[in-house]
């Protein structure tokens, strides 16, 4: 199986990076949440540029798939210099991903400018769209990349069941990588909360994935990403997928490779989540 790495602000040591064929997802929203500020802050622009540059250099000659910021409304509300959307009953289904780009085009413009400058230096830097619903959303943002003369590849997450019905259109419109995001896709398919092994192993989920793969017909690479347990990873490895993207923080529990036993920043995602949750509680007290 071909393994890539999902990164959320961590920078692996070269001895760890060498075991992976690239970065399947660079989850940029975690970089913003780590600094507690949005992209309108110059310091965050500089921090994001440094981080993406370092990752691209580390994985020189291998793909680095940067996922455009997928901030939920309650997460964005904790960041300085961001528009806030506090009143959402379910932020997971609200103004997130590229929906946020449409209501806050300035931050989206800044993000694309940063990526455009980096792509001029790194031909291994590619873009993934988050939480795309259908061809209308996809085409809107594919057009934005065309307008800016994006020089490298682009693709999309497949997290919303409706998007899996559109894969042929995505490919015909330029996507060269599709990522099945099991966290969101499983709960939206089964109508249950995220996180349990049961919904990620459910036959209905995999039937839906198989239908989408049949539509790909070798025209595009595709992989699977998400938070995995050992049984879920074993199930994925039975599938005919081009790659699996593993969270950096999960490497010690998913592999017995000695190189993964003492990783720097292995708990970074958990730390960022705690920081964001505390900021949410502070906001509620201020209301």
- Residues contacting residue 68 through CB under 8 Å, at least 6 positions apart: 28, 97, 98, 101, 108, 111, 127, 128, 129, 130, 141
The pLDDT, as a whole number, for residue 223 is 97
What was the pLDDT predicted at 134?
96
pLDDT in tens, 39-78: 999 999 999 999 999 999 999 999 999 999 999 988 988 9
Helix (H, G, I), strand (E, B) or coil at 104: coil
Indicate if the pLDDT at residue 281 is higher than 70. yes
Adjacent-strand bridge partners of 6 = 25, 247
- CATH pick for 3-286 out of 3.20.20.10, 3.40.190.10, 3.20.20.60, 3.40.50.720: 3.20.20.60
Mean pLDDT of 141-162: 97
Structural contact between residues 2 and 21, judged by C-beta atoms closer than 8 angstroms: yes
- Write the Ramachandran bin of 131: left for phi over 0, alpha for psi from -120 to 50, otherwise beta: left
The shares of helix, strand and coil residues in the chain, as percent rounded to the nearest 5, are 50, 15, 35
Residue whose pair of structure tokens reads 């239908």 in the numeric block: 211
Tell me the pLDDT tens digit for each residue of 98-122. 888 888 899 999 999 999 999 999 9
Phi, psi of 128 (to 5 degrees): -115, 130
| Position 89 confidence tier, pLDDT thresholds 50, 70, 90 | confident
Domain chopping of the chain, boundaries:
3-286
What pLDDT, on the 0 to 100 scale, is given for residue 1?
85
- Scanning 120-202, the segments in alpha helix (DSSP H) are 135-147, 161-164, 167-172, 182-190, 197-200
Q: How far is 287 from 281, CA to CA, in rounded Å?
A: 10
* Choice between 2 and 218, residue whose per-residue pLDDT is larger: 2
Predicted confidence (pLDDT) per residue in 186-198, tens digit: 999 999 988 789 9
Q: Which residues contact 150 (CB under 8 A, 6 or more apart)?
A: 115, 116, 119, 127
Per-residue model confidence (pLDDT) at position 86: 57
Distance CA 202, CA 32 (A): 34
- Name residues whose C-beta falls within 8 Å of residue 3's C-beta, 6 or more positions apart in sequence: 19, 20, 21, 243, 244, 245, 246
Mean pLDDT calculated for residue range 79-83: 73
CA distances from 117 to 53, 179, 190 (A): 10, 25, 41
247-264: pLDDT as tens digits: 999 999 999 999 999 999
Q: How far is CA 257 from CA 55, 71, 141, 239, 252, in A?
A: 22, 33, 39, 23, 8
pLDDT above 80: residue 97: yes
The share of the chain scoring above pLDDT 90, in percent, equals 83
pTM over cut 0.75: yes
Q: Place 22 in a pLDDT band, splitting at 50, 70 and 90.
A: very high
Which of 138, 186, 177, 198 has its CA nearest to residue 159? 186
pLDDT at 218: 87
| More reliable by pLDDT, 4 or 284 | 4
| pLDDT band for position 87 (cuts 50, 70, 90) | low
For residue 287, pLDDT beyond 80: no
Phi, psi of 7 (to 5 degrees): -115, 145
**Does residue 96 register a pLDDT over 60?**
yes
């Amino acid at each position: 199986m071909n393994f890539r790495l999902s990164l959320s602000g961590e920078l692996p040591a070269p001895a760890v990076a060498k075991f992976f064929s690239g970065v399947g997802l660079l989850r940029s929203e975690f970089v913003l949440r780590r600094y507690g500020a949005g992209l309108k802050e110059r310091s965050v622009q500089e921090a994001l540029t440094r981080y993406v540059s370092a990752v691209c250099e580390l994985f020189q000659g291998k793909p680095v798939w940067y996922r455009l910021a997928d901030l939920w409304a309650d997460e964005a509300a904790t960041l300085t210099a961001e528009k806030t959307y506090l009143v959402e009953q379910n932020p997971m289904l609200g103004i997130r991903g590229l929906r946020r780009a449409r209501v806050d085009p300035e931050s989206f413009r800044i993000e694309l400018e940063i990526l455009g400058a980096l792509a001029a230096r790194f031909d291994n830097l590619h873009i993934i769209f988050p939480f795309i619903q259908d061809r209308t959303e996809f085409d809107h943002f594919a057009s934005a990349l065309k307008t800016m003369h994006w020089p490298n590849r682009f693709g999309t997450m497949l997290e919303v069941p409706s998007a899996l019905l559109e894969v042929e259109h995505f490919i015909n419109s330029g996507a060269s990588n599709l990522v099945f995001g099991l966290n969101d896709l499983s709960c939206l398919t089964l109508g249950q909360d995220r996180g349990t092994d049961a919904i990620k192993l459910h036959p209905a989920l995999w039937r839906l994935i198989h239908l989408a793969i049949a539509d790909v017909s070798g025209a595009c690479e595709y992989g699977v990403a998400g938070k995995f347990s050992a049984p879920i990873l074993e199930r994925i490895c039975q599938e005919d997928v081009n790659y699996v993207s593993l969270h950096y923080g999960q490497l010690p529990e998913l592999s017995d490779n000695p190189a993964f036993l003492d990783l720097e920043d292995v708990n970074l995602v958990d730390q960022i989540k705690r920081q964001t949750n505390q900021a949410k509680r502070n906001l509620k007290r201020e209301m």
